[in-house]
Chain A
Amino acid sequence: MSDVDRSIAEAPLPTAGTLRRRKGLFYQATRFVAFNFRMMKMVTRAHH
């Protein structure tokens, strides 16, 4: 097994709760707003 394979094999796996949150509509809607707000702050800062 290569170092890369070993490192991947030992990487953390998402819990069942994390997997649910990744697909949960209400939670993902809040993440959509949060990410786009963060992105807008970043892009407007870049415009000078």
Chain B
Amino acid sequence: MARVVILGAGISGHTAARHLQRHLKKGAEIIVVSPNSNWNWIPSNIWVGVGKMTKDQVTFPLAPIYKRKHIGFRQAKAVAIHPEGSPDNPQGFVDIDYTDPTRSGQEEQLTYDYLIVATGPKLNFAATPGLGPDGNSWSVCTAGHAEQSAAALETIIEALKAGERKTLVIGVGHGTCTCEGAAFEYTFNVEHELRERGVRELADVVYLSNEYDLGDLGVGGMTFAQNGFETSSKMWTESLFRERGVRAILRAHVEKVDPGVIHYEELDGSKHTLDFDFAMLLPPFRGVDMKAYANNGDDITDDLFAPNGFLRVDADYAAKPFEEWTPEDWPKTYQCPRYANVFGVGIAFAPPHAISEPRKSPNGTIISPAPPRTGMPSGVMGRTVALSIAERIRHGDQAPLRTASMAAMGAACIASAGTGLRKGSAAAITMYPIIPDRKRFPGSGRDLTQTSGEIGLSGHWTKLLLHYLFIYKAKARFGWFMIPE
């Protein structure tokens, strides 16, 4: 019986596992390896970060789901891939170290017929001295981090209520960060919370980002057709900042976070400091720490993984200037070019380059967003690769692979701007395609009939609906597969 090993149980990996099980039933052995025992609906961590949800509302244990669905589960982290097997056995295998407290210190080798690398990001707080909850700033990347941020925010609100003025800085903590959308969301949720609690006037809220313009969001900005005009996402976003009285520092690379002080460099090379009382700064991402070895023991990590630690797939990684980037550079099948039975999905695959225009300061500091791989495309990739593998298990190694290029895919993103069934709002955005294609869509690079942005209460309703729908789906409850990725 074929065995599929999936490294990672996030949006991509967990999606792949469920679709594989649904299509293959007992026709294959599926094993998920994840260092975390819980699944996290990450988009709702923002609401945990402002105290509107608890950690328990955005996470659930994986083991019972996998047991019910007859999917093997190892609570462990993958430390090395051996795609060529060993001298005695050519079957690929993965070295795993158990993080399950009942199996602490144990290791295992898992052979596979197909491997899906869906390990997500390593939260690289170490890239910026002083960054992160173990340092001098907060995070909302995990549900646990978000709970800590909510507690710290509450302390600030109490001080504001006592009449003290405070500065809250929210954004990204390195020049190469992605996830500006999450930073945007947290900024406006905090701002909304301050208004709801009657302390907004005493708070200075500052958004600190590596984007060149507001509304870039790591996708090079967007153009919306609104009221008879082509409106840039820059102006659209600036309008919200003006409306809500939020300041913005852009084109910034955070060099260091001291207690109460952010040190940053701007794109023109100038250096600055920013005093703060509360700071939530997202870390840059890199691939998880994982090595790869040939069957003779040679280290082939640099062959399989890009320098940023993400798995190389069927993308065009040739270095080229921004003007020569094309949508065809982006992967379609997510298959590892060297090993046909290895795939990389979600944040774990190495993008060919960014989407936003790359920029460097005169000091050589890269200050431009890395490309986001948000929930919807990540889920679609997980499903697509699962179906490709299912076809190959059923019909042989030459069965065609399915495709899910970000250049042929749209995305819907809902950036919450405050909670409340009557008082909440969100910026609801659609874009098609994710990767701009200026040959198909001259000018903006995207289809104006499918690229839109609007702000309102309905956006909050949609985000809340998706919270419940996607947790229902992730728990593999009855009819889960009818909810699209």
Main secondary structure of the interface of B (DSSP, over half): mixed
Tell me whether B459 is interfacial, beta carbon within 8 Å.
Answer: yes
User: In the complex the two chains form, is A42's CB within 8 Å of B412's CB?
Assistant: yes
User: In the complex the two chains form, is A28's CB within 8 Å of B461's CB?
Assistant: yes
Which residues of A, 1-48, contact B by the 8 Å Cβ criterion? 4-5, 7-9, 11-14, 21-23, 25, 28-29, 31-32, 35-36, 38-40, 42-48
Which residues of B, 416-434, contact A by the 8 Å Cβ criterion? 422-423, 425, 428, 430, 432
Q: A45: which B residues are within 8 A, CB to CB?
A: 410
Distance of B344 from chain A, by nearest CB (Å) = 19
User: In the complex the two chains form, is B457's CB within 8 Å of A9's CB?
Assistant: no
Considering the chains assembled together, what is the distance between the CA atoms of A32 and B457 in angstroms? 9
User: In the complex the two chains form, is B456's CB within 8 Å of A31's CB?
Assistant: yes
User: In the complex the two chains form, is B239's CB within 8 Å of A21's CB?
Assistant: no
Tell me whether B376 is interfacial, beta carbon within 8 Å.
Answer: yes
User: In the complex the two chains form, is A8's CB within 8 Å of B454's CB?
Assistant: no
User: In the complex the two chains form, is B241's CB within 8 Å of A47's CB?
Assistant: no
Chain A minimum-CB-distance residue to B247: A5
User: In the complex the two chains form, is B454's CB within 8 Å of A35's CB?
Assistant: yes
Given A8-B238, A36-B462, A43:B456 Cβ within 8 A: no
Q: A9: which B residues are within 8 A, CB to CB?
A: 242
User: In the complex the two chains form, is B458's CB within 8 Å of A11's CB?
Assistant: no
Considering the chains assembled together, what is the distance between the CA atoms of A13 and B239 in angstroms? 6
User: Number of residues in B with C-beta < 8 Å to the partner?
Assistant: 42
Given A35-B459, A43-B376, A46-B409, A11:B238 Cβ within 8 A: yes
User: In the complex the two chains form, is B412's CB within 8 Å of A28's CB?
Assistant: no
Distance of B348 from chain A, by nearest CB (Å) = 19
Distance of A43 from chain B, by nearest CB (Å) = 4
Considering the chains assembled together, what is the distance between the CA atoms of A46 and B412 in angstroms? 11
Q: B423: which A residues are within 8 A, CB to CB?
A: 23
Interface readout for B235-255 with A: 1 if CB under 8 Å, 0 if not? 100110111000111100000
Considering the chains assembled together, what is the distance between the CA atoms of A11 and B239 in angstroms? 5
Tell me whether B450 is interfacial, beta carbon within 8 Å.
Answer: yes
Residue with the greatest number of chain B CB neighbours at <10 A, chosen from A5, A11, A13, A14: A11
Across chains A and B, which 4 residue pairs bring their CB atoms closest together, nearest first? A11-B238, A32-B458, A22-B456, A28-B458
Provide a sorted-by-A list of 18 A–B residue pairs whose CB atoms are within 8 angstroms. A4-B249, A8-B238, A13-B242, A22-B425, A22-B455, A22-B456, A22-B457, A23-B456, A29-B458, A32-B458, A35-B454, A38-B450, A42-B411, A43-B412, A44-B484, A46-B485, A47-B383, A48-B402
Additional A-B contacts beyond A23-B422, A32-B462, A46-B485 (17; CB < 8 A) = A4-B214, A4-B248, A8-B241, A11-B242, A28-B456, A32-B458, A32-B461, A38-B412, A38-B452, A42-B430, A42-B450, A44-B484, A46-B376, A46-B409, A47-B383, A47-B485, A48-B402
